[in-house]
Amino acid sequence: MSLSSVTKTKIDNILKAATEQKNGIPGIIYAAVDRKGNTIYEGAAGVKSLKNPDEKLTLDTVFWIASFTKLVTTIAALQLVEQGKLSLDAPIDPQILPEVTNAKLVEGQKGSLTYHEPKNKITLKLLLTHTAGFAYTVFNHTIREWAEETNAGDEFTGKPEGISGPLVFEPGEDWQYAIGIDWAGALVEGVTGKTLSEYFKDHIFQPLGLTSTDFGGPLHEKLAGLHSRDEEGNLVPRDYPAIVRNPLFFSGGAGLLSIASDYLKILTALINDGVGANGTRILKSETVELMFQDAVPQFSKRLNDPIPAARADHTNVVNMLPGVEKGWGLSFLLNKAPLPTGRGAYSAFWAGIANCYWTADRENGVASVVFTQIFPFSDPLVLDTWTKAEFELYQGLNAASSLQDSAFV
């Protein structure tokens, strides 16, 4: 698949306009590939950081991709399921993850929190589908108050204590975006005896040919600047949280740094039945098929509820794809109907809290990423820019396809 120069220029101009307007995005990357890993479009606009406005953003700039990490951790866990070393549906082994099997249910408010034993057991599937009962302080007021009362820290401290919170609902009886996939990463470490960094490198990154994706290290030298938008919409530089600067564990939910071309290699395998652009298979085709099935149809109405903002400096209220019937696969959101931008039905997408977004459209054989580094999450300008760029991408692909078809008439 290829785009005309006219379409590429349109997308270039969309990115450029978003960075040049008042209080615009400091820097943004948008890129897309086909199911063979061929580049359809790639573009970078703006600067690497407002601290250094003369340094342009480039395609090899490193970003904190945060919850993009969840897909990688899920792939790792499913590889172990394929090998019979893990089960999706069996209760978590208390000898491997006592923190999960001993988790209590919390109720009440700060100063009057109470705890009791859950009646249901937690499984790997519940961890991957955000139905295990855990929560994030950034999206859940009860867990935020628990963290404040216990001084446990939060998911951004880079400490294990930050993800060791109690449950906020009975496992399997609700849906809430949460730290469950961090625990899935710990499960991978417990079963394999490798750190998550080692496992990712050996079984995902090196096999697919990734060169610039890891939990920090030398990648910090090429890291884009992080920014924060205040209540008036002004953007200012801010420091990265400890989970990026100095993590004390490998966060399978939010710890990775990466570049756009690397992450697109992972997404290529996702839209190509588990096979990367270099021909390396990392998952069985039937496993990929399972990932794209709605795993929580009983919570379809819940998925349409806006995700609250328990910490306004980190996130806006999140209302992804309003009015679109949604499902949840193994670690990502699914749009059950085609989108007006052209994205196909049952495409996957998810995000990183610093306003990074990815898509995997198996129907049309297109995967894409949007990279920025802005708090709070769900930034209106980033979402608008992404929507416009995606619309032009699919319009261009449809035009190229029509032109190709007419050549054979």
Which residues participate in catalysis according to the annotation?
A: 67, 70, 177
As a whole number of angstroms, the distance between CA 253 and CA 66 comes to 7
Nearest of 383, 351, 374 to residue 67 by alpha carbon? 351
Nearest of 320, 319, 323, 162 to residue 253 by alpha carbon? 162
369 secondary structure, DSSP code: E
Structure tokens at 262: 């690397």
How many other C-beta atoms are found inside a 10 Å radius of the C-beta of residue 404? 11
Distances (CA, A) of 142 to 53, 108, 167, 311, 348: 40, 7, 10, 12, 29
Q: What is the Cα Rg of the chain in Å?
A: 21
First-to-final CA distance of the chain: 19
Which residue carries 């172990």 as its tokens? 80
SS3 (DSSP) at 137: coil
The phi, psi pair for 229, rounded to 5°, reads: -100, 130
Nearest of 385, 352, 130 to residue 240 by alpha carbon? 352
Hey, what long-range contacts does 343-351 have (CB within 8 A, 24 or more apart)? 343/390, 343/394, 346/292, 348/270, 348/291, 348/292, 350/67, 350/68, 350/70, 350/71, 351/66, 351/67, 351/68, 351/377
Cis, peptide link before residue 237, omega less than 30° from 0: no
Between strands 356-361 and 366-371, the pairing is antiparallel
Sheet holding 374-375, edge to edge: 235-238, 226-229, 374-375
As a whole number of angstroms, the distance between CA 296 and CA 330 comes to 10
